[in-house]
Chains A and B, each alone.
Chain A
Amino acid sequence: MSMVQALNSAMDVMMGRDDKVVVFGEDVGYFGGVFRCTEGLQRKYGTDRAFDTPIAEAGILATAVGMGVYGLRPVVEIQFADYIYPATDQLISSAARLRYRSAGEFTAPITVRTPCGGGIFGGQTHSQSPEAIFTHVCGLKTVIPSNPYDAKGLLISAIEDDDPVIFLEPKRLYNGPFNGHHDQPVTPWTEHPSGEVPDGHYTVPLSTASVVRAGEDVTVLTYGTMVHVALAAVAESGVDAEVVDLRTLVPIDIDTIVASVTKTGRCVIVHEATRTSGFGAELSALVQENCFYSLEAPIVRVTGWDTPYPHSLEWEYFPGPRRVAEGLRKAMGG
């Protein structure tokens, strides 16, 4: 399955198992979403379980909160992560804090799916990676898969979770494991082991990182599209790096991070989002707090630049394999 099909399958499975699961968002009903992730759900489950909404992200989130309070389990799509900002008051002030402010009386078990990241010439309004905005909010879980198998298992976990989950979908990975070599064709997921996705119900637990490549010399902490970019950079640089796909950013799997960095003594953090106050800053602090006496070199960050995502200069902005390889060499002291 492609990642699109895997996400579709996750929603299909959950809508079939739990009639409290409802799916809605802009263009998600009859049409099946601009990226086709919800295709067929309305036909199968009816218009009152999968439907189109007005173009009002705050309204989408607000009604999802109200439905959560009622007892439903809404799965909403924000068409692009860049469009989520109008909904942040509902996310931050309501969804994330409802359990706390009502001491558990009211909850918002919502999953917010939204495509993130660049690589499709989307310019500054269709390319952003706003994960750090959400990881800074107490009460939200933030998840970002890097392949179809994880995407389905994590999405099912997110829907079953009783807390609100921001589920970021790297749109450049929807159809294949893009590794940053934009001038080369991308292998489709059907020819990738992670494209083998079971039809039925399974979960990938939240808050568990995955070591996608074992290595001895340096730890790469990354997630989303950058997992594949890091793997390419490791292969091309010849550095024996251990690549950790974090998968969930909050609550984070600290044990896997500590075990890896303690073993390798070096750490490179890679994300597509802008650098300043990016999630890499939190990762760097965590590594420093927990692994200081194992570190043999300063922590290196490879990230998007602190600029808006430029349209025609996309590949100068994108932290591709060359920059990640440079980061690896820097961490190795070269």
Chain B
Amino acid sequence: MKNTVPLQLHVPEPSARPGQPPDFSWVKLPAAGSVTRPDIGAEPAAIREHAFALIRVLDDNGNAVGPWDPRLDPETLRRGLRAMMLTRAYDNRMFRAQRQGKTSFYMPCTGEEAIGVAQAMALDDRDMTFPTYRQQGLLIARGWPLVDMMNQVYSNSHDRLKGRQMPIMYSSKEAGFFSIAGNLATHFPQAVGWAMASAIRHDDRIAAGWIGEGATAEGDFHHALTFASVYRAPVILNIVNNQYAISSFQGIAGGEHATFAARGLGYGLPSLRVDGNDFLAVHAVTSWAADRARSNLGPTVIELLTYRASAHSTSDDPSKYRPADEASQWPLGDPIARLRAHLVALGAWSNEQHAQLAAEVDGAVRDAQREAESYGTMGVGEHHSPATMFEDVFKEMPWHLRRQRQELGF
């Protein structure tokens, strides 16, 4: 046939820009409890609709409903609430510390706390995590000391990474938390490799990787799914869809025509889409995926639908590209407020307890900050010697690095 019209390039545009009212009419919210919970042995082809659904447990009244309710006891829920609140308090304080010139950079996970925290709680502490820079909740939920995290953010004398990594690029082998990569997506297929190794060694540990919806456009995302599928690796492949890759809305990553979870279907992987601001739903799908992996049934893709309520980083100004009040209009609400409402609905939480907990986590962060700052902040106080710059390039320092160290005067 002959062209009837000139060809046109489609460049996706978000539903609202600065100065326009936020528009989330495109977010289809099935009722909490309405999505079925298949057996972990279900054939991926039989549960394809879960990649387009939205698994939700908490209803608008704070009640846990439906088959995905993980039935966590109030004590576990309160631990989850505390870890989320501690994460938020930590983020707020570190964001401010950057503004005060105490460090060069910071990235908060505000609004996304349920993801790191609930998933850490659903996994075994021995399972290996390959996070992005927005899953500090994993470390906090695993009880890793805030002081150690702050030392890294401040690149101070107690920074175990010796001031080599930008703030928030934590690493903790002890906490099963892989060194954060600034090259997006590189760690995602590495998580699969780790899981393959665990299977080769007949180990009982599984791996979990996280990636932003923006970075699913990277080749490494697809390598991860290919290898995970081929070798049936015991790994959970989490896509955190927080709507934005810096300024680019999720449509630029390919979210206009399909869900991100749906990408797993082409690889024959079971793929679940979940309300990422619903602590219980996040916990439940993670447990489901972990049980599958532990049963040699292989990988699961999970899309966690959420909203990046804060700036991408301290170097970003979201008012330049999205409506200022968009975060408050996000239809999935705030994960902390929702879990709090659930605990209240259970009769297991009060306003007094909440105020007390808020004060307690603020105090914990403040105390940690005081201690971390006694070890120095970026550019102030004691730091690692420049001689350390030449260490760890190789296990043994070769002659040319020794010579360069001498050139520098050490």
Contacts and interface: CB of A to CB of B under 8 A. Distances in A.
Contacts of A67: 193-194, 196-197, 200
B294 interface: no
Contacts of A250: 398
Nearest to B384: A103
Contacts of B189: 58-59, 62-63, 66, 90
B392 A106 contact: no
Interface in A76-135: 86, 89-90, 93-94, 98-107
A316 interface: no
B173 interface: yes
A98 B394 contact: no
Contact of A49 (B188, B198, B200): B200
Contact of B178 (A56, A69, A103): A69
B122 interface: no
B394 A251 contact: yes
A227 B197 CA distance: 39
B257 interface: no
B192 A104 contact: no
A269 B348 CA distance: 78
Contact of A62 (B162, B164, B192): B192
Interface string A39-66: 0000000001100011010110011111
Given A62-B190, A62-B223, A93 B393 contact: no
Nearest to B223: A59
A66 B196 contact: yes
Interface in A231-271: 250-252, 254
Contact of B224 (A48, A49, A62): A62
Interface in B180-196: 181, 183, 186-196
A140 to B, nearest CB: 9
A62 B220 contact: yes
A82 to B, nearest CB: 18
Contacts of A89: 183, 186, 220
A103 B164 CA distance: 8
A163 B395 contact: yes
A161 B394 CA distance: 10
**Interface size classification for chain A:** 35 or more
Nearest to B395: A162
A6 B266 CA distance: 42
A98 B179 contact: yes
A56 B392 contact: no
Interface in B136-187: 160-162, 164-165, 169, 171-173, 178-179, 181, 183, 186-187
* Residue of A63, A65, A93, A99 contacting most chain B CB atoms (<10 Å): A63
B380 interface: no
Interface string B198-231: 1111000001000000000001100110110010
Contacts of A93: 181, 183, 186
Contacts of A66: 130, 189-197, 207
A35 interface: no
A332 interface: no
Interface in B391-410: 392-395, 398-400
A59 B226 contact: yes
A139 interface: yes
A62 B117 CA distance: 27
B399 A254 contact: yes
B392 A104 contact: yes
A190 interface: no
Nearest to B165: A101
B287 to A, nearest CB: 23
Contacts of A63: 189-190, 192-193, 196, 227
A198 interface: no
A65 B191 CA distance: 9
B186 A90 contact: yes
12 contacts: A53-B230, A54-B227, A59-B226, A66-B191, A67-B194, A89-B186, A99-B394, A102-B171, A105-B172, A251-B394, A251-B400, A252-B400
Interface of B: 128, 130, 160-162, 164-165, 169, 171-173, 178-179, 181, 183, 186-201, 207, 219-220, 223-224, 226-227, 230, 392-395, 398-400
Interface of A: 22, 48-49, 53-54, 56, 58-59, 62-72, 86, 89-90, 93-94, 98-107, 138-139, 141, 161-163, 207, 250-252, 254
Given A22-B197, A65-B193, A102-B161, 5 more contacts: A48-B199, A62-B188, A62-B220, A66-B193, A104-B392
